[in-house]
């Protein structure tokens, strides 16, 4: 099909093979001669020590594309809009950041594609992180057998509807006057992700899985009214739980008949996260699962050269004052050293955000502050970021754990800290717990100014309306799990919404139960009265809790060390 350009690839591999296996990558992994992947095909071919590996990776990719009939060579139509292609190279690493694979991918320059000609709709959902955590918790609480499955060349399994023509692929020449007409959804096309989601969703529905309306990438299977399987789909990765070995084998067989399926086994690495499972002797299900994000922390430690730095015990320096008045002036921003510092700061904060939304709920409060200075950070802010990296380095094994031995009901915590920020805005935080670990959490600054701590607490509860919307998919899952006898349904219904939301401000609780009696707060907007209405409908109830037991405090203030350690111990393992 192709004329090889600039080198004869046949001396490196068997061009007739349809499944070229990658070999002996450890030879170049340890040397780390090159820190970053090649930016283009010519650079990959110029790297003496890696050239063979990249050629192998390219060959494997091309064999897969041609086997799946990704395109056909045709005469170039008159006036056709031809899109360029590029090679994208990637070092694949394990959860500890060690290189384990060289991967090459043909990618269409979709940024040149013309809307309404070469693509239309582009939105493609992936499973929410809350959904991934929920599925892991369900696997534990419902004693399911976990398995991780990956689909090879996922996008290529879906057809493309629009007429798309390609110039060709770097390193391979087309005959004169010819072009490629795309038949499959290559990576890089704006609609490729959407097409793949439509393909895999349709397949799962045909084998009787039910799609959650609240999260279009979570699917549940019932057999005879009982939960048989649950999965969260993240592009081409499946995290699944099955009620039996037979069900697991049936699913793998059905999937393998349709797609290139790789059964990874027990999920230990997903989205760069490490999953640690605690087995039960003689059982196929597990006692607990712990999620950590060691890979991202190692990246930060290596980048900022902090491998020999002494760890610190808190994520923040209580004696340090951070404010916008410290930010560099326009003249100072032109200093190359300041520009480098600010670029590094933004990279660090971006990684902190990923850590926080995945597993590190303990850095909520300091990250909320550091995020305020991303546009123009000062050296004091940079030092605070370095401090946080040292903390993460010393607590790299901390994570979120879901366990059979824990409370299996859904519980909420909400807190606010009145006007503690320099611009006098109050902070809020809410946390939802299930099976001993946090499922969903968020903190931030309240959008309106408050005149008292009680009002800020009430506004934090008001923020729960968005939180409840955010976790409504839990309701559908728990209702779905009640497809058994009526007594069990009644029991599970108790967990449909947070039955108890813990609050440490008595005035806020009194106002929520009796809004009309609090004349001192009659200036509050009437829309906050939804709290009282929700309580009247028995959707949730507020319970007073001591401040030392308020888990949401970890996201609203810089607690002293003894309180911080107590809160962290209850949230993380």
Where are the alpha helices (H) located in 373-437, listed in sequence order? Answer: 379-394
Is residue 205 within a helix (H) or strand (E), and if so which, with residue range?
A: helix 192-206
Using DSSP's 3-state secondary structure scheme, residue 52 falls into helix
Pairing of strands 226-234, 218-223: antiparallel
The number of beta carbons lying within 10 Å of the beta carbon of residue 115 is 9
All structural domains of the chain:
3-289 (no CATH), 294-394 (no CATH), 405-571 (3.30.420)
187 closest CA partner among 244, 99, 267, 103: 103
Beta bridge partners of 543: 502
Q: What are the φ and ψ backbone dihedral angles of 201, each rounded to 5 degrees? A: -65, -45
* pLDDT per residue rounded down to tens, the chain (573 residues): 444 333 333 322 333 333 334 344 444 444 457 788 999 999 999 998 899 999 999 999 999 999 999 999 999 999 999 999 999 999 987 766 678 889 999 999 999 999 999 999 999 999 999 889 989 999 999 999 999 999 999 999 999 999 999 999 999 989 999 999 999 999 999 999 999 999 999 999 999 999 987 788 999 998 887 889 999 999 999 999 999 999 999 999 999 999 999 999 999 999 999 999 999 999 999 999 999 999 999 999 999 999 999 999 999 999 899 999 999 999 999 999 999 999 999 999 999 999 999 999 999 999 999 999 999 999 999 999 999 999 999 999 999 999 998 877 788 888 877 655 566 677 888 898 989 999 999 998 876 656 666 655 566 555 555 555 555 556 666 666 555 443 344 344 444 555 677 777 776 676 667 765 555 555 455 556 667 777 777 767 788 898 889 999 999 989 999 999 999 999 999
The number of beta carbons lying within 10 Å of the beta carbon of residue 355 is 20
Pairing of strands 273-279, 172-173: unpaired
Cα(198)–Cα(363) distance, integer angstroms: 37
Distances (CA, A) of 526 to 71, 427, 540: 60, 21, 20
What token pair was written down for 55? 């050629």
CA 469 and chain centroid, separation: 19
């Amino acid at each position: 099909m192709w004329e090889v350009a600039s080198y004869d690839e046949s001396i490196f591999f068997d061009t007739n093979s349809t499944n070229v296996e990658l070999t002996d990558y450890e030879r170049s992994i340890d040397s780390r001669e090159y820190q970053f992947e090649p930016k283009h095909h010519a650079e990959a071919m110029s790297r003496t020590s890696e050239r063979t590996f990249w050629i192998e990776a390219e060959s494997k990719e091309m064999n897969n594309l041609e086997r799946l009939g990704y395109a056909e060579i045709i005469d170039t139509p008159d006036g056709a809009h031809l899109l360029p292609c590029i090679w994208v190279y990637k070092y694949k690493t394990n959860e500890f950041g060690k290189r384990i694979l060289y991967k090459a991918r043909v990618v269409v320059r979709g940024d040149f594609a013309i809307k309404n000609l070469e693509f239309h709709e582009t939105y493609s959902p992936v499973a929410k992180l809350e959904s991934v955590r929920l599925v892991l918790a369900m696997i534990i609480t419902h004693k399911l057998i976990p398995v991780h499955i990956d689909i090879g060349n996922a996008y290529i399994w879906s057809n493309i509807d629009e007429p798309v023509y390609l110039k060709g692929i770097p390193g391979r020449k087309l005959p004169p006057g010819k072009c490629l007409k795309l038949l499959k959804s290559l990576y890089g096309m704006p609609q490729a992700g959407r097409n793949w989601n439509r393909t895999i969703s349709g397949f799962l529905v045909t084998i009787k899985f039910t799609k959650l309306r609240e999260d279009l990438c979570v699917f549940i299977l019932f057999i005879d009214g009982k939960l048989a399987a649950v999965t969260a789909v993240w592009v081409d990765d499946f995290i699944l739980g099955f009620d039996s070995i037979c069900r697991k084998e049936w699913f793998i067989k059905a999937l393998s008949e349709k797609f290139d399926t790789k059964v990874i086994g027990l999920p230990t690495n997903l989205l760069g996260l490490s999953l640690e499972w605690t087995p039960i002797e003689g059982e196929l299900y597990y006692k607990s699962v712990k999620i950590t994000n060691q890979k991202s922390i190692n990246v930060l430690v290596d980048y900022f050269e902090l491998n020999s730095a002494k760890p610190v015990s808190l994520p923040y320096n209580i004696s340090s004052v951070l404010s916008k008045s410290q930010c560099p002036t326009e003249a100072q921003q032109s200093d190359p050293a300041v520009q480098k510092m600010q670029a590094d700061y933004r990279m660090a904060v971006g990684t902190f955000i990923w850590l926080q939304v995945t597993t590190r709920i303990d850095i909520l409060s300091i990250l909320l502050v550091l995020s305020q200075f991303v546009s123009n950070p000062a050296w004091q802010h940079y030092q605070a970021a370095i401090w946080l990296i040292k903390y993460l380095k010393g607590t790299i094994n901390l994570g979120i754990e879901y366990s059979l031995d824990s409370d299996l009901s859904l519980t909420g915590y909400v807190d606010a800290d009145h006007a503690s920020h320099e611009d006098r805005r109050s902070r809020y935080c809410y946390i939802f717990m299930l099976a001993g670990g946090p499922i969903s959490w968020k903190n931030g600054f309240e959008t309106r100014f408050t005149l008292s701590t009680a009002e800020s607490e009430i506004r934090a509860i008001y923020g729960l309306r968005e939180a409840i919307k955010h976790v409504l998919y839990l309701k559908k899952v728990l209702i779905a799990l009640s497809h058994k006898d009526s007594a069990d349904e009644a029991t599970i219904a108790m967990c449909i919404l947070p039955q108890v939301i813990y609050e440490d401000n008595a005035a806020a609780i009194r106002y929520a139960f009796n809004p009309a009696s609090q004349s001192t707060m009659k200036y509050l907007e009437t829309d906050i009265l939804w709290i009282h209405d929700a309580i009247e409908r028995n959707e949730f109830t507020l319970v007073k809790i001591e401040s030392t037991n308020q888990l949401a405090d970890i996201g609203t203030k810089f607690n002293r060390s003894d309180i911080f350690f107590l809160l962290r111990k209850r949230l993380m393992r």
